[in-house]
Structure 1
Amino acid sequence: MKKFFIGLCALGLSLSLNANAISIDLVANKSVVSVGDSLEVAVRISGLNDANAPSLGVYDVNFQFDNSLFTFDSISWGDSAQGNQLDLSGFGSLQDSSSGSGWLNLFELSFDDALDLNVLQSGEFTLFSILLNTVAAGTGNFSLVANSLGDAYGDNLVADQINGTQVTAGAVSVPEPSSVLLLLVGILAIGMLRVKSAQRR
């Protein structure tokens, strides 16, 4: 009987852990770009509970990219559709960023009350978006390292899965002249030759 009870407890614990499988996904707004194009990569978290714990209260992450193909332009904090889910009461949040060769460190700490975060925060939202400029052709990989994630009380959260993304950058394409345009240029050239030959007579 004791073994049966321990087995039930272990099963219940595993189910409760799997119920909140937190994942972070990098989502690019384009899969193929040309040199000179801008590119936006959103960093989204999911697996939190809608209007219930756990919620996200703080994060410290490193965003990594190929700086031979892309250059950093700017950061947009929060979700463009849902607003900043770490600033639900309008108190703001502590935001900090630093950068190096091919990486950005981003930190955000909510000033919201823990109860407000647990009751009001969505279970899935964009943490921030990174705007980059394409400077060379090639295939670029984007990844993320979660240095730390904390819930509404600052207790540790674990990202079960972090999914990067890949973008192909191509050279600037020069459009070929259309056949109609070539035909018009040819007719114009013939017409000019006839006018010149008529003037010589």
Structure 2
Amino acid sequence: MIKQLKAGLAGIALCAASGVADAAIDLHFAPLSQTADAIEIGLSISGLADDALGTYDFNIQFDPTHLAFAGVAFGDPVLGKQLDVLNLGGNSVAADLLAPGVLNLFESSLDDAADLQTLQADSFTLAIIRFNVLSGGSSELDLLINGLASAGGDGLSASAAPLSVNTVAAVPLPRMFWPMVGGFWVVLKRRRV
């Protein structure tokens, strides 16, 4: 009875330890550049340690009254495509709007698990997402993980935090701006004569 209890406790400890190791994987957003008309957000992963990422499937929720999806570039701007470490192309990728304010990102590597394990970085940018700014204010980006798997096909767990983006929409000039400038110019010209 004592041996079974010890074995059970050891099993629980091993399961808890494996969950802690997986929980070290972090997915996070980072604003890269912003203008009055557009914003670029990087989606990165870190803490892979001994694991290599083989596939992911995420839903990104955003406020469609503040932001409009404009495009995505898969891969890290410095390290290259870390799910295509041999740069052979052919990975399955998708970026689709599922509903207003819901963007689905998917990528699956065709590289060999050993190559990913050996050549993939521990931390890298998965994709850079571009949004057009529709109106000023604050918009929160939420990341929902549909699937995350290692190069060997084993499921991975990760933590993800939302990002609050403060957008500043372009302020349009009034319709009468240029006629007013012309009027001031005429008045100044007449004063000199």
Q: TM-score range by the shorter chain?
A: 0.7 to 0.9
Render the CA deviation track for 1:7-60: whole Å, top value 9, x for unaligned: 677556644543441111011125x753xx2101111111101xxx31110111
**Equivalent residue, structure 1, for 2:92:** 94
**Equivalent residue, structure 2, for 1:45:** 45
Render the CA deviation track for 1:70-119: whole Å, top value 9, x for unaligned: 11111100110111110001222111222131111111110110011111
Alignment of 1:1-201 (within 5 A): 14-15=16-17, 17-20=19-22, 21-29=24-32, 34=36, 37-49=37-49, 53-92=50-89, 93-99=91-97, 100-159=99-158, 161-173=159-171, 189=188, 192-193=190-191, 195=193
Counterpart of 1:29 in 2: which secondary structure? strand
Unaligned runs of 5+ in 1: 176-184, 196-201
Instruction: Report the Cα distance in structure 2 between the residues aligned to 1:194 and 1:158, rounded to whole angstroms.
Output: 75
Aligned residues: 177
Percent of pairs identical after alignment? 34
Instruction: Report the Cα distance in structure 1 between the residues aligned to 2:153 and 2:21, rounded to whole angstroms.
Output: 20
Aligned 8 A contact 1:59 1:150 in 2: yes
Q: Structure 1 residues 68, 194: CA separation in 2 closer, same or farther (over 3 Å shift)?
A: closer
Runs (4 or more) in structure 1 with deviation over 3 Å come to 1-17, 171-175, 191-195
Q: TM-score, normalised by structure 2?
A: 0.78
Aligned-pair Cα RMSD in Å? 2.8
Aligned 8 A contact 2:133 2:169 in 1: no
Letter in 2 for 1:59: Y
Letter in 2 for 1:169: T
Counterpart of 1:122 in 2: which secondary structure? coil
